[in-house]
Amino acid sequence: MPNELIYLAADSKLMAVETRNGTTFESGVPSPLFEIRVDPSVNRRTQYTVSDDGQRFLVNMLTGELGWQSPTTVVLNWTAALKK
């Protein structure tokens, strides 16, 4: 039965490779999924997690100077907008 191994490569790309476990271990050709920007001072194994079905990823990515910048919007009194 084939399985998939997900790992973070040295070039910061999240990779996937098909594996087979039988009497011997076999693996396919790794393919890149996407690049992530992670904090090099943090353990690489704690930078991401994969859902049980392998379809979703939760990634702890850098922001600001070292990563992508996006504005943060804080909405005050948002419950008042629900009444309209």
> Domain containing 13: what range?
2-82
Q: What's the pLDDT at 69?
A: 60
Here the contacts of 56-60 (C-beta below 8 Å, separation 24 or greater) are 57/14, 57/33, 59/14
Q: What's the pLDDT at 49?
A: 85
pLDDT tens digit sequence for 31-78: 999 888 777 677 766 778 888 887 888 887 766 655 556 677 888 988
Confidence of residue 13 (pLDDT cuts 50, 70, 90): confident
Q: What's the pLDDT at 17?
A: 93
Which amino acid is present at 70?
S
> Based on the structure, what is the number of domains in the chain?
1
Q: Which two tokens stand for residue 27?
A: 């693996």
